Amino acid sequence: MKYQSTRGMDERVGAAEAILRGIAPDGGLYVPESLDALHFDARAAVEEKSYHDLAVRVLSALLPDVENMDTLVRRAYEGKFAGGEVAPLKAVGDRYVLELFHGPTSAFKDVALSILPQFMTQSRAQRGEGGETLILTATSGDTGKAAMEGFCNVAGTRIIVFYPDSGVSAVQKAQMVTQEGDNVCVCAVRGNFDDAQSGVKKIFSVCADGRLAPHGVELSSANSINIGRLAPQVVYYFYAYSELLRTGKVRWGDAVDFCVPTGNFGNILAGYIAMRMGLPVGRLVCASNANDVLADFLETGVYDRNRPFHKTVSPSMDILISSNLERLLHFAGGGSEVKDWMAQLAADGRYRVSDAVRAHITKVFAPGRCDDEKTCETIGKVWREHHYLCDTHTAVAWNVSDRYIEKDRPMVVLSTASAYKFPAAVLGAIGGDLSGDEFDQMERLVELTGVPMPKNLQGLRTRAVRHENCIEREDMLAFVERQVKRA
Ligand SMILES: *Cc1c(COP(=O)(O)O)cnc(C)c1O
């Protein structure tokens, strides 16, 4: 099974090559030539006994030419997740919460970013070339830290992370600027996440002229546009189902609904891929915060980014261009029109999909939105009623799932971050005293709830700052070139 671009170029490449490139030469995203041709045995997969075995099975199907999958999965996950479970499923009230935040940075992106560097080193070895992969990543907060943690001191790789200077929480910022490792670099950009992401995309297109090759450097991306980021996320949808099966909550074939707090559309798209691989998925509920461009799209078939950008208490979802939606348009039968729609998005910030594509999408995806006020109310309510502490992103999904939950059909809410990453909003929501800074608030959250603070977030305030760059978005390319020449 080969990969092709969503924008229609003829070239087909193996998964290993697609992972190293990140983005296709025509600017499109890599997708499997055919999801139906995978002939994946979903039923056998959910009967696997461990997350490890399930991951090997799913990832071998999606990335068939990446060798040594068993070793790569072990290196990625063994001993790296608190409590030893990558994705524990908890029953909370009338629904289930799939906790994806027990990795090294307490955000769900750890699940994919723990294994992406393994895929890259393996893929480079298979290609038989020397040189270095330089990862460029724009982050709305969580990706950057998780990527640096994943790539830190992995041989043959280097990473530069750009984050919006005023778009991340104090805790997220502290996590990033204290990052250690000889091959990592972090830089603030004046602007919002979309500015940083557009800047990174521009660097990729400018550097397609081969200007970094003389330095032995090949660019790649750790954003969820990389297929090596997306594939590992498919695994936990199967895992959630296998847990429901194991505990007798479903019988094979019963539909399960998933509600996903959505930004760049990577996480929820992985659920769609799981479904196309044969997992009995009922609905995929796409939960947005006040930046509800996706909710509007699902309701109208028009994607329109021309709207105010809202800073919310769930900053990792403050996104107006959801890159991975392009893959869904392809899977939904968009064909050669996908390229036109993306051109319209670039030119006018807006496109309308065909009725056929819209019908395919709305059969599975359901929209919902939740503003900051409702988000905080939800955190308070879930804490009072179930003694369960959820972060702001998870609360958006919990709230939206209210509207879709059905009797006799499990609803799984994906929980994407530890509450301790967003202490001000969470503490305020449960009625705590907000005096002091975010670090004081984290301590108070421990006292008030008794929920333990993840180890990686303890002592953050006093860790040495190692990265202090802050630049204009026009200067991102020059910054990268300087870094490349310096080494
Ligand atoms: C990245 C992120 C999201 C959004 O996930 P997408 O794959 O971009 O849709 C949601 N919650 C948290 C905490 C995140 O870090």
Residue 268: pLDDT above 70? yes
Q: What digits encode the pLDDT tens for the residues 423-439? A: 999 999 999 999 999 99
Specify the pLDDT at position 208. 86
Tell me the residue ranges of DSSP E strands in 73-227: 89-92, 95-99, 132-138, 157-164, 184-189, 217-221
Q: Among 223, 289, 365, 416, name the best residue to mutate to test ligand 1's pocket (greatest count of ligand atoms within 8 A of Cβ).
A: 416
- Average pLDDT over all residues of the chain: 94
Residue 292: pLDDT above 90? yes
Q: What digits encode the pLDDT tens for the residues 212-250? A: 989 989 888 887 789 999 999 999 999 999 999 999 999
Q: Are strands 132-138 and 157-164 parallel, antiparallel or unpaired?
A: parallel
Q: What digits encode the pLDDT tens for the residues 370-415? A: 999 999 999 999 999 999 999 999 999 999 999 999 999 999 999 9
Give the C-alpha separation, 60 to 63, whole Å: 5
Q: Whose CA is nearest to atom 2 of ligand 1?
A: 316
User: What is the CATH architecture assignment of 82-106+228-457?
Assistant: 3-Layer(aba) Sandwich (3.40)
Residue 130: pLDDT above 80? no
The alpha carbon of 427 and the centre of ligand 1 are apart by a number of angstroms equal to 21
Specify the pLDDT at position 411. 98
Tokens of 374: 């409702």
Taking a C-beta distance cutoff of 8 angstroms, is the pair 368, 286 a contact? yes
Q: What digits encode the pLDDT tens for the residues 30-56? A: 999 999 888 899 999 999 999 999 999
Specify the pLDDT at position 189. 96
Domain boundaries, the chain: 82-106+228-457
The alpha carbon of 318 and the centre of ligand 1 are apart by a number of angstroms equal to 9
Q: Among 102, 142, 273, name the best residue to mutate to test ligand 1's pocket (greatest count of ligand atoms within 8 A of Cβ).
A: 142
The alpha carbon of 394 and the centre of ligand 1 are apart by a number of angstroms equal to 10
Specify the pLDDT at position 363. 98
Specify the pLDDT at position 487. 66
Residue 197: pLDDT above 70? yes
Helix or strand run (H / E) with residue 211: none
C-beta 289 within 6 A of ligand 1? no
Residue 171: pLDDT above 90? no
Average pLDDT of 170-192? 92
Q: What digits encode the pLDDT tens for the residues 14-28? A: 999 999 888 898 999
